[in-house]
Structures are given as C-alpha cells and as structure tokens.
Amino acid sequence: MSTTVSGLRAALATALPVCAATLLLTGLLSGCSSGADAGADAGKGERTRASEKAAARPPAPAPDADAYRRWGLDKPLAPPPAPPARKLTESVQAGGAPLLVRRVPTRDKVVFVTIDDGAEKDPEFVKMAEDLKLPLTMFLTDDIARAGRGYPYFDRLHALGNGVHNHTLGHPDLRTLDPDAQRRQICGQQDALAKRYGARPALFRPPYGNYNDATLAAAGGCGVKAVVLWEATMQINDMRYAQGGRLRPGDIVLAHFRGPKELKGTSMTRMTANMLRSIQKQGYTVARLEDYL
C-alpha cells in the first residue's frame, strides 16, 4: 500500500478522534488502550439505548434450523446483538474525507460478510441467502456485474435487505490512475448504482485494496462515507487472517462472487457454508455491516 501510516492517520483524524482512528487501524497501529476503553464504555450506553429501541420492536423470527441443515450447517447462526445506536459514519460530513475501515471497532462477537466484483451469478446462492436470512454487503464492479444475467441477479439479493455498494466501473488498480480517472471510476459507479437502487452508496472498496490520497479525495467527493478494506479473506475451504490466525470481533470478511471454475469445483453455496461453519466454530455470528458503519 503506498499510503503511509501517518497519511492514514491524517485521513482519519479529519473525521474521528485519534483514539477512534487508531482503533480502525488495528492492522497498522497499536496502543491507545485507555481511550479505547472509554470508547467501549460509551458504546455500552449507546447499546443500552439501542436495546431499548429493539425491545419495542417485535422479536425477529427464530432462525430456521431446517433451512440451515438443508445448506449443510448443523445449527443456525446466533442472532446478532442489537446494533449500536450511532453509526460510525455519522461523524462524516457530506463531501468530507471518508473513514478508512479495516475492522469495525466493537467488542461484540460479530463479523461482517462482504462479497465483491459480481462475476458468478448462482441462483442457488440467492435461495441460500434468503433461507438463512444472511446479512451480506455487496461491492459491485459495473463491468463485471453487468455480464451474463447482469444486475437483475443482484436486485434479488438487494430485495432481501442487502446493501449494494461501489467497487468501481472497471476494477482498475486505482493507484495507477490520475485523480480525474479515479474520479470517473468511483463517481461513475456511484451514479450507476444510485440510478438503479435509488441512493448513492455510502461504502466503497477499492479493487485489490489499493488506494492513495487521490482515491480518498475522489471517494469523499462522490458521496462515499467509508472506504472499506478487510483483514480476513474467505478462501475455498477456510479463511485467511491478516493477524493471529483467527477471527476477531468486528472483522470484515472478504469473499467474492465466484463459481466452480475459480473455486476448484466448489460452488458459491458450498464456499459460503464453509465460511459460516468457520465463523460459528470460532464463536461468532454475522451482523449487518451497514448497521455499524
């Protein structure tokens, strides 16, 4: 990554206090423990309010154990806890520098599933997402999503309540492009998704995780509130971790819309079942990224 740690800190400091910024950069920075604790206590108060709000709503339907068994999982995922009352991006001003998020600061035993590009369009996966009521966040590249069955496939996942966000028009390495070309890639896909889904996406993921200062400026100017990276990656059978060999609270898991050709014969639904099994085995459940960001 060409952007320096101090550059990242500067980008974050515009939107967040330094301790919060440090929490977001867990892969690069450490320390700030007292500030982090204070933040967590503040979060607890917000959580109480969120729980009260949640208590006023009718309880969510119990997860369907049979549906999980049909998709090869022994038991349902635990229901996620009430989300925080305040989303992280509420501190971002319109057109201002977006947050840079590798991992969501939380003590909840939750992780977030993000799926990129949009190449494979397996109808079975839509059934699986619907059956399991799995919270997903999609980052779509226009050229890739458009191919084959095209966007109507993602419309079905969106209709289940899942967010569709920006992963550029053509999947370039943005660091190789000048600022104008970066703006066209990012704003172009903001416009395309706004036209289709009615609102400009709040989240953006740069292809390959590659970005520089011009990327952050372009994203902010196009209405992006958070640039979302990751520290855990779903492979065919298990996950890879940037640190520590296991999931941590608030991990953002990167997966892709891929089919048997890219998954050595494994289908998208089997890859997803493997991912969920690993998440369960490690004592986590899946929450919705947009509830936290």
Cβ closest to Zn ion, residue 171 vs residue 248: 171
Find the shortest distance in angstroms from Cβ 55 to Zn ion.
Answer: 39
Find the shortest distance in angstroms from Cβ 167 to Zn ion.
Answer: 6
Cβ closest to Zn ion, residue 117 vs residue 122: 117
- Segments of 79-210 assigned E as strands: 99-101, 110-117, 137-140, 163-166, 203-204
Cβ closest to Zn ion, residue 117 vs residue 290: 117
Task: Describe the chain by its helix, strand, coil percentages, rounded to 5.
Answer: 45, 15, 45
Residue from the set 108, 117, 120, 142 that interacts with Zn ion by CB under 5 A:
117
CA–CA separation, 70 and 50 (whole Å): 33
CA–CA separation, 103 and 76 (whole Å): 24
Cβ closest to Zn ion, residue 108 vs residue 142: 142
Find the shortest distance in angstroms from Cβ 207 to Zn ion.
Answer: 5
Amino acid at 189: Q
Cβ closest to Zn ion, residue 108 vs residue 116: 116
Q: Which residues, numbered 47-66, are part of the site for Zn ion (CB under 5 A)?
A: none
Question: Cβ(217)–Cβ(284) under 8 Å?
Answer: no
Amino acid at 170: G
Find the shortest distance in angstroms from Cβ 164 to Zn ion.
Answer: 14
Find the shortest distance in angstroms from Cβ 206 to Zn ion.
Answer: 9
DSSP symbol at 140: E
Cβ closest to Zn ion, residue 16 vs residue 232: 232
231 binds Zn ion (CB under 5 A): no
3-class DSSP assignment, residue 38 = helix
CA angle 29, 285, 53 (to 5 degrees): 95
Find the shortest distance in angstroms from Cβ 228 to Zn ion.
Answer: 12
Cβ closest to Zn ion, residue 116 vs residue 120: 116
Residue from the set 84, 207, 220, 223 that interacts with Zn ion by CB under 5 A:
207
Amino acid at 196: R
Find the shortest distance in angstroms from Cβ 289 to Zn ion.
Answer: 16
**Token pair for 264:** 């050595």
3-class DSSP assignment, residue 220 = helix
The stretch near Zn ion (CB under 5 A) out of 3-11, 20-28, 103-111, 204-212 is: 204-212
Residue from the set 116, 122, 251, 290 that interacts with Zn ion by CB under 5 A:
116
In a 13 Å sphere around the CA of 153, the CA atoms on its Cβ side amount to: 20
For the beta carbon of residue 90, count every other beta carbon within 10 angstroms. Answer: 9
Q: Please report, as ranges, the residues that interact with Zn ion according to CB under 5 A.
A: 116-117, 207
